[in-house]
Structure 1
Amino acid sequence: RDIREGLRYVAGQPTIRTVIAALSTLSLGLAIMNTYWAYYLLAVLKVSPTAFGVIMGVGGAGSLAGALLAPKIASRIGIGPTIIVGFAVSPLTQVPLLLAGPGLRWQTTLALVLAVQLFWATASGTSQRSLRQTICDPRFQGRMQAAGTTMTAGVRPLGAAAAGALVLHLGVHTTLAIGAVVQLVPVALLLLSPVRTMRDMPAPPPRTALPSAREGAS
């Protein structure tokens, strides 16, 4: 019963519903790409294991910077634009990967692009999570987060399976391109949602009575 009530609440809250739908679609597109991302770099682009580690390390540094600067970015350009830019950067940063060839110059480009992607992904992720927690009724905080995690994580095995099927018929490069195109869908969802016009963090909902101990424990 509690799960059903939580899902009904998420489905009925326009902003939370849209953000979770966008996250799930982005997760699907990334899952399609990530299934063969390392293989593509190592086997097709001939990136050495050392260079691969450097690329990942540079990307991690970008993610750390995004986490540290997320509040300042949201304060400067607005919470909604921060979220949307983070989603929009993801498919754009896949273009260099699809155009890349072997060589140090491309490896440097991919490292920098990954840093940019993870910078904005982390800044956007921090912002959208804060937004969802702020506007969510306190009674449904845990169930809202559980619904989001279930949907975003639940599509990843489907994305991996889809990637395997696509590679069999279309090849790795085309499969990566399809994963990048899927990542455009969440950008459209957010642009058509109330998130687009948000500059400041909305006021939290009025405090209502918390659920009983029995309900909270169930």
Structure 2
Amino acid sequence: MLDRLGASPTAFGVIMGIGGAGGVAGALLALRIAARIGIGPTIIVGFAISPLAQVPLLCAGPGLRWQIVLAVTLAGQLFWAVAAGTSQRSLRQAVCDPAFQGRMQSASTTLTAGIRPLAAATAGGLVLLLDVRATLAVGALLQVVPVILLLASPIRSLHKIPARAAMPPAREEATS
């Protein structure tokens, strides 16, 4: 945005701040959204908005008009990302045995955060081979994959968080 679109550091900060406000709104409204459209659809919409939100960035040019479009788009993207993330974590916690909650959250965090350096290195390599916009387009197309997987899964029809199946309490292994 700074180099290619000529946004000032202040404009960039305002765009990011507006985006952050969208994320806060998504956190505050996540329960209401999931109650209205269902937990599964909330998760799917959150994943589906992300690649769509890349389109204005791919088309953007310099100027205030584009900066406004990008700020509104980022706010919408982060709104749905946070609402979907909140719904996703709530669903995982509801169906996971309490004895495994920490492991489940650790595994999820490790997978999502652990892939970021590889993704950043791959994006950097693609920028060298292609250019910034082409790399962003590849990233947007790759973001469609989870949407397709979610649409093909039973989550698409999940409207309420299911109650955890009654399970016997976790047994501690005998130590010798």
> Smaller-chain TM-score range?
over 0.9
Q: 2:105 maps to which residue?
A: 145
Structure 1 SS opposite 2:165: coil
| 2:71 aligned to which of 91, 101, 111 | 111
The Cα shift of 1:207 comes to 3.7
The Cα shift of 1:76 comes to 0.5
The Cα shift of 1:182 comes to 0.8
Structure 2 SS opposite 1:53: helix
The Cα shift of 1:99 comes to 0.3
In 1: Cα distance, 2:19 partner to 2:110 partner: 26
The Cα shift of 1:139 comes to 2.5
Q: 1:171 maps to which residue?
A: 131
Which string of whole-angstrom CA distances, capped at 9 and with x for unpartnered residues, describes residues 114-139 of structure 1?
00000000100000000001011223
The Cα shift of 1:151 comes to 0.9
In 1: Cα distance, 2:174 partner to 2:58 partner: 53
Return the structure number with greater helix share: 1
Q: 1:189 maps to which residue?
A: 149
| 2:60 aligned to which of 81, 95, 100 | 100
- List alignment gaps of at least 5 residues for structure 2: none
In 2: Cα distance, 1:66 partner to 1:214 partner: 45
In 2: Cα distance, 1:50 partner to 1:214 partner: 60
Quick one: higher RCO (CA 8 Å, sep 6+), 1 or 2?
1
50-59 or 139-148, which deviates more: 139-148
In 2: Cα distance, 1:181 partner to 1:211 partner: 45
Which string of whole-angstrom CA distances, capped at 9 and with x for unpartnered residues, describes residues 2-40 of structure 1?
xxxxxxxxxxxxxxxxxxxxxxxxxxxxxxxxxxxxxxx
TM-score, normalised by the number of residues in structure 1: 0.78
Alignment identity in percent? 66
Question: How many residue pairs are counted as aligned between the two chains?
Answer: 175
- List alignment gaps of at least 5 residues for structure 1: 1-40
Name the CA shift for 1:51/1:213 in 2 (closer, same or farther; >3 Å). farther
Q: 2:59 is matched by which residue type in structure 1? A: L
